[in-house]
Amino acid sequence: MPRSMRRISLLLLCLASWVAPLPGAILERLSLDDVILKSTDIVRGKVSGSYADFQGSMIYTHWKVQVEERWKGTERPSIDVLVPGGEARGFHQDVAGAPKLAEGKEYLLFLWRAKSGSTYITGLSQGIFELTKNGADGLVVSRAATGEPMLDHTTWRPVNDEAIQMRYSEMTRQILGALASGVPQGAAH
């Protein structure tokens, strides 16, 4: 191999190792009202199973969710929710910002349906809340702050995400209020 080709190959190898660790996605931070209004479906449901498969070069995990309560969207007893990433045919793929679900767990999901008919979580990890019992207070919904890079959707400046935790009844009021008015109710994130 000529000397100049070796230098170019070495340079490309160095550049590839420098670029490889860079994050592949930057999320738009959405307020809770934005998540509510941008969603085509809002449901409370329990994950009953999953499988992963390729769609082109991407792996998607299909989560079957049994719907227990619905605020928005078409009446269906279950929904197939696609989350980017997973393991299929011996290949593993991680996607920045993609939420992790677990079979048997109950979630409050904010979803959007693509023209293809596939259903995804609105804002990736921003549109999924775990439901837990909190003693006498009843149900609590919560989601951790995502560690992924985020931009404010009005200024396009980098921002940090914030965790959200509230009583289920409070979340229900927020959902119903936003849906009734069709405009954001406040600056809740």
> What is the CATH classification number for the domain harbouring 163?
2.40.50
Domain of 142? 23-181
* 146 CB-contact burial (10 Å; exposed 0-12 / middle 13-18 / buried 19+): buried
Tokens found for residue 43: 């449901």
Count of the separate structural domains present in the chain? 1
* Per-residue confidence (pLDDT) for residue 4, from 0 to 100: 59
pTM of the model: 0.81
pLDDT at residue 137 in the model: 66
Cβ 188 vs Cβ 174: under 8 Å: yes
CA distance linking residue 176 with residue 186, whole number of Å: 13
Residue 99 Rama label (left phi>0; alpha psi -120 to 50; beta) = beta
Residue 10 lies in a domain: no
Per-residue pLDDT at 5: 57
- Asked whether the predicted pLDDT for residue 21 surpasses 90, the reply is no
How large is the average pLDDT for residues 161-175? 94
